[in-house]
Every structure is written in C-alpha cells, then in structure tokens.
C-alpha cells in the first residue's frame, strides 16, 4: 500500500461548483463592437452573408453562458454525492473519492484526462467521479509538482 500524497475534504455548494466551470465573464464592449460591425455588414450586398454570420456568432456568445449555467445546475443537482462532504485524495498508486455514501478509487493507469480550472486540479478517471484537488493547498504543502507529474504521465490535458 502506498503512502497518501494529498487528501482533503470539501462540500461543494452550487455556486462554488458552477464557479469552477464558468470562469470567463461576457465581454460586453467586445461583443457590442462586433455586433455593430455585423449590422454595418448587412447594408452592403457583398458582406451581407458575412454580417449574418457575425451576428449569429454574437448571439451564440451571448446565449451560451446561460445555457452552460443551466447545464451545470442540472449536473450539480443530478449528482447527489456532490451535496455531501467528500474526501478527495491521491497516492502514488491511486486516486479516490470517499464520502458517507460513496467510496470509489481507481489506479492512476485509469486516468483519462486532467485540467486545472479556477485553482482546482480536476482528474477524470474511468469508473469514478471527478477528483477535485485544490492547487493552492497542494503548492503550500509542496506536493503539487509530484501530483502533476503523475497526471502528466498517466493522462492527457483536457483543453
């Protein structure tokens, strides 16, 4: 049995969970300028189709944050284990999620992807829920580089 490298317990609320995934605010000045350009393009027959395309992309940029937020709301409420305190941890051999009603672990060889978002290292392994590890706490304890090396060795960065 290997020694635990890092372990912490967290109970996510919906706002914190959503904050991990939605980090970029809508840039209103940039979108307003792009909409203006799209409207100007509508007045010339040579650029009308391009103007429609630009306005359609602006509409997608304006609507997508609310769609993503609704999806994250349903994801959070659909996974009952996220409402409970969970202990996330890693060792040289395993990564795990443990709670009152959940006990799941996987070997590092089952790690599919990893990513760093909003000060969280998120590990996605086959057969277990996502493992959330706080980057700042791992850096304070001096173990971040070792855990990142394991993630680099066994998984691919999700971009």
Last residue of a domain, one of 33, 59, 78: 78
**Which CB contacts under 8 angstroms, 24+ apart, belong to 145-153?**
146/5, 147/5, 147/6, 147/90, 147/121, 148/121, 150/90, 150/92, 150/108, 151/111, 151/114, 151/121, 151/123, 153/108
Give the global pTM: 0.76
Confidence (pLDDT) at 70: 84
Q: Are 38 and 26 contained in the same domain? A: yes
**Which residue range(s) make up the domain with 139?**
4-12+80-157
Number of domains in the chain: 2
Indicate the burial class of 138 (C-beta count within 10 angstroms; 0-12, 13-18, 19 or more): buried
Confidence (pLDDT) at 51: 94
pLDDT higher than threshold 80 for residue 26: no
Q: 24-33, 46-55, 124-133: lowest mean pLDDT where?
A: 24-33
**Which tokens in the block code for residue 65?**
């944050």
């Amino acid at each position: 049995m290997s020694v635990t490298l890092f372990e912490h317990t967290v109970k996510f609320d919906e706002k914190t969970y959503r904050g991990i995934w939605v980090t970029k605010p809508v840039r209103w000045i940039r979108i307003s300028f792009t909409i203006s350009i799209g409207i100007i393009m509508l007045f010339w027959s040579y650029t009308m189709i391009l103007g429609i395309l630009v306005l359609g992309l602006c509409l997608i940029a304006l609507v997508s944050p609310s769609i993503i937020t609704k999806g994250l709301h349903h994801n959070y409420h659909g996974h009952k284990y996220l409402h409970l305190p969970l202990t996330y941890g890693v060792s040289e051999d395993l990564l795990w999620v443990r709670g009152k009603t959940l006990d799941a672990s996987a070997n590092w060889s089952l790690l599919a992807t990893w990513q760093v978002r909003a000060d969280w290292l998120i590990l996605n392994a086959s057969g277990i829920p996502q493992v959330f590890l706080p980057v700042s706490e791992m850096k304070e304890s001096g173990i971040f580089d070792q855990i990142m090396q394991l993630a680099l060795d066994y998984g691919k960065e999700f971009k």
